[in-house]
Amino acid sequence: MSGPISPSDQRFLRQFSTVIVILVLVAFGLIAIAAMVYDHMPQPADPALQRSTDARIAPVGAVYAGAAGIAAMQAAQAAAAKAAASEVAYGGTLDGHDIYNHLCHTCHAKGIAGAPVVGNKTMWDPRIAQGIAVLVQHAIHGYHGPDGNYMPPKGGNPALTDAQIEATVKWMVAQAK
């Protein structure tokens, strides 16, 4: 295999290199098209990554500003009031009979510790004569009677509101009429 390359081999080599050059150009063309298509496609979003990003950029506190802020603040206050109401005695009921059944009856049903018995007119008449306002004040703040007996403030449950006590006293007084 020495000597000059035969003319037929030269032709073959020329055509073969032309084919290779064309194929290389086609390959680069395909790479360019693929890169262009990829650039124009929406990037796939990883949901886990999205979630962790959202968590990281979530606001730490709320800002109460403008009309929406006022509404949000009122909602927060309403929620707080609702939570506080659950700490009010007996669900905050203003039903005197209901409150009596929960607490006051322990002394006032049978006259324990010298408590005036509910429905006993003789026991209640002189007390009612003081006026309902005085009875309510005695029930709220506690009362030492002249014969040495003691009505504890709010019957011993400070969670009762003044309005609840008033409703209960009114109910008790009504039973003695």
Binding flag, residue 166, ligand HEC (CB under 6 A) = no
The smaller minimum CB distance to ligand HEC, of residues 29 and 156, is found at 156
Report CA-CA distances (Å) from 106 to 38, 100, 123.
Answer: 82, 9, 17
The smaller minimum CB distance to ligand HEC, of residues 106 and 175, is found at 106
Q: Which two tokens stand for residue 118?
A: 């509910």
Q: Which two tokens stand for residue 10?
A: 């030269």
Separation of alpha carbons 166 and 93, rounded Å: 12
According to DSSP, residue 89 is labeled: G
Amino acid at 174: A
Q: According to CB under 6 A, which one of 116, 125, 133, 174 is a site residue for ligand HEC? A: 116
The smaller minimum CB distance to ligand HEC, of residues 54 and 87, is found at 87
Binding flag, residue 104, ligand HEC (CB under 6 A) = yes
Binding flag, residue 118, ligand HEC (CB under 6 A) = no
Task: Report yes or no: 62 and 72 within 8 Å, Cβ to Cβ.
Answer: yes
By CB under 6 A, name the binding residues for ligand HEC. Answer: 99, 103-104, 106-108, 112-116, 127, 130, 134-135, 138-139, 143, 145, 147, 149-152, 154-156, 160, 165, 168-169
